Amino acid sequence: MKILGLSAHYHDSAAALVVDGVPVAAVQEERLSRRKNDAGFPVAAIEHCLEAGGIEPGDLDAVVFYEKPMLKFERILTMALREWPRTFASFPQAMKNTLGEKLWVKGLIKSWLGVPSSKILFTEHHRSHAAAAFLTAPTRAAAILTADGVGEWATLSVGRGERPRTCGEAGTKVDLLREIRFPHSLGMLYSTFTAFLGFQVNEGEYKVMGLASYGQPRFADQVRQVIRRTEGGAFQLDMRFFEYHTTAKRSYSKQFVDLFGPPRAPWDPLDPTSDEGRRHADVAASVQHVLEEILVDMCKALHDETQLPDLCLGGGVALNGVANARILRESGFERVFVPCAPGDAGCALGAALLADRVHFGNPDRDVPDHPYWGPELDAGELGRVAREDGLSVTEVASDAELLDRIARELHAGKIVGWMDGRTELGPRALGHRSILSAPHTAEQRDRLNKSIKFREEFRPFAPAVPTEHASTYFDLPPGGHRLARFMSGVFPVRPEHTGNLAAVTHVDGTARLQTVDRAVAPRFHALLEAYGRVSGVPVLLNTSFNLAGEPIVNRAVEGYSTFRRCGIDLLVAGRTIVNKERVAGRSADVEAKEAAE
């Protein structure tokens, strides 16, 4: 059976193809359209998935959309009427936004793909998140918690998933038992603080988490005033402090500002050593602290209720690696699984898997435990483009030679753009579209920030380490290795190594590490081993291969364009190495063209 899953129209559109119960391809639209957080109908992603599966739209048995647009419309309409007349000004725009293509998804799918209505299915947003988390995890039974800004109505749901005892049997269940509904939302709470701290919502949440490490949670009681715990371990926001439910213009109210002080303007410099900067860091630390407190309590209760050893986390809130690590340590669950794409992009895959296992009742199948579901790299493209551009290109005879050479260059302080195999699904570069560097010194981190990533200095870089060496350098609790597979947990760096891992150790002594399994990413694993042989430490700094504000690169030519616009020293694809040295005796017209540029 061939099932196409789609997510679109909020942020991070994506498509995923599942054939006979196993994913064939899954990719975010932004990687192909080159528009960051592309929320449009994922035409290019669909095309890629169909091509990867070698099928035409007519071969599809079903197309599944990741949420129910009518329910979402009902929520927007109900909120607008409930808050009338405060919503008067924003009502026409809200209706215009929702009444367009967002509501008529079925028509869009029909017109783009030419499939009949009977083949188009809709699943609920949080069921898609739950399926993306549970059906991709190597577990047969698990508790599930999903949390995000909002889907249709739900903003957080808890439940459990069960797969049949053996692969090949039917009877998979993904049951959500309870939910918390809009406007009460952990995701919206965090996003409100993201906006208050002057960062872009849906993009700057990482920055709040990074900034939190510089602060003390001295505003925790104030945060507990805006989000109150209710009987039974749930929570409720005091809506007097918020405005996101009445207008798209502002997420927090005057009372919010009275409580936390003036907001930070996006263009204001952020210096955690100044008084103002310290207040901002303390506000970030406080919302982070309360978020963790609530999540840990809810997961503890879920553990008591289900008595299961495994927990699957989904939704955008599951990108909070500091909270995930606390859940693993404190909730009672032995293993915590977060998929490579817990946000809405991963819902395309979740919706397709859910339709396969639950709606159609197809037999259970193991889903390969890796994030590499996107387009395959055409490594030959790099050599072609670089030669045309007059840069020096080296083709290395063997993989062993290439790895040894790159390891030595990294040890000498070179910054390497590394492209290999299929693109990652989800927001993190996990060794297939990565910028790599030696992790040892703070100067290297500053060089990356200033000449390549052009980003704020308080944001930490992440290390990658072979799974078998992870505990030597990082203090991982049981289960920590697996949580770190997709960089989903933040853990302490062992104190004896912080001095030698300064570029990847955050101000509070932690790191958001990636553990690399030989079986999952053999070439990246081999590079880490090669670097270990040269430097004595098999750890590399791994940051996503993109410049600020751009999507992660996909094709070799995009990697090349990024390489030419920033301070990356070497670029690698397959066995091709490019550096910025000019080839002697290049044609005069190329030189003249460059001089003109």
Binding-site ranges for Fe ion (CB under 5 A): 148, 344
Give the Cα separation of 560 and 38 in Å (integer).
22
The minimum distance between CB 151 and Fe ion, in angstroms, equals 5
The minimum distance between CB 513 and Fe ion, in angstroms, equals 26
Instruction: Evaluate whether 121 touches 65 at the Cβ level (below 8 Å).
Output: yes
In 3D space, the residue among 464, 427, 441, 480 whose CA is nearest the CA of residue 542 turns out to be: 464
Give the Cα separation of 440 and 569 in Å (integer).
18
In 3D space, the residue among 312, 296, 374, 259 whose CA is nearest the CA of residue 130 turns out to be: 312
Give the Cα separation of 433 and 419 in Å (integer).
5
Q: Which helix (H) or strand (E) holds 112?
A: helix 105-113
Give the residue carrying structure tokens 């989904």.
314
Evaluated on CA atoms 16, 21, 23, 24, the torsion sign reads: negative
CB-wise, 147 or 516, nearer to Fe ion?
A: 147
Task: Say which residues have a Cβ less than 8 Å from residue 62's Cβ, sequence separation at least 6.
Answer: 1, 3, 4, 119, 120, 121, 355, 359, 360
The minimum distance between CB 316 and Fe ion, in angstroms, equals 6
Task: Say which residues have a Cβ less than 8 Å from residue 200's Cβ, sequence separation at least 6.
Answer: 194, 266
CB-wise, 108 or 341, nearer to Fe ion?
A: 341
CB-wise, 102 or 433, nearer to Fe ion?
A: 102
Instruction: Evaluate whether 261 touches 192 at the Cβ level (below 8 Å).
Output: no
CB-wise, 13 or 562, nearer to Fe ion?
A: 13
CB-wise, 318 or 573, nearer to Fe ion?
A: 318
CB-wise, 148 or 205, nearer to Fe ion?
A: 148
Collapse the DSSP code of 390 into the 3-class scheme (helix H, G, I; strand E, B; otherwise coil) and give the result: coil
CB-wise, 42 or 466, nearer to Fe ion?
A: 42
Give the Cα separation of 272 and 371 in Å (integer).
35
The minimum distance between CB 107 and Fe ion, in angstroms, equals 23
Instruction: Evaluate whether 101 touches 108 at the Cβ level (below 8 Å).
Output: yes
The minimum distance between CB 24 and Fe ion, in angstroms, equals 24
Evaluated on CA atoms 40, 44, 48, 50, the torsion sign reads: positive
Q: Which helix (H) or strand (E) holds 411?
A: helix 399-411
Give the residue carrying structure tokens 């840990």.
296
The minimum distance between CB 431 and Fe ion, in angstroms, equals 26
Per 3-state DSSP, the chain is made up of helix, strand and coil in percentages (nearest 5) of 40, 20, 40
CB-wise, 30 or 409, nearer to Fe ion?
A: 30
Cβ atoms within 10 Å of 556's Cβ, excluding its own: 26
The minimum distance between CB 234 and Fe ion, in angstroms, equals 19
Please, what is the Cα angle at 49 between 319 and 517, to 5 degrees? 50
The minimum distance between CB 149 and Fe ion, in angstroms, equals 7
CB-wise, 344 or 558, nearer to Fe ion?
A: 344
The minimum distance between CB 269 and Fe ion, in angstroms, equals 33
Collapse the DSSP code of 438 into the 3-class scheme (helix H, G, I; strand E, B; otherwise coil) and give the result: coil
CB-wise, 344 or 424, nearer to Fe ion?
A: 344
The minimum distance between CB 23 and Fe ion, in angstroms, equals 19
CB-wise, 148 or 404, nearer to Fe ion?
A: 148
What is the identity of the amino acid at 67? E
CB-wise, 282 or 344, nearer to Fe ion?
A: 344
The DSSP call for residue 20 is T
The minimum distance between CB 343 and Fe ion, in angstroms, equals 6
The minimum distance between CB 270 and Fe ion, in angstroms, equals 28
Question: In the bound complex, which residue of the shown chain has the CB atom lying closest to Fe ion?
Answer: 148
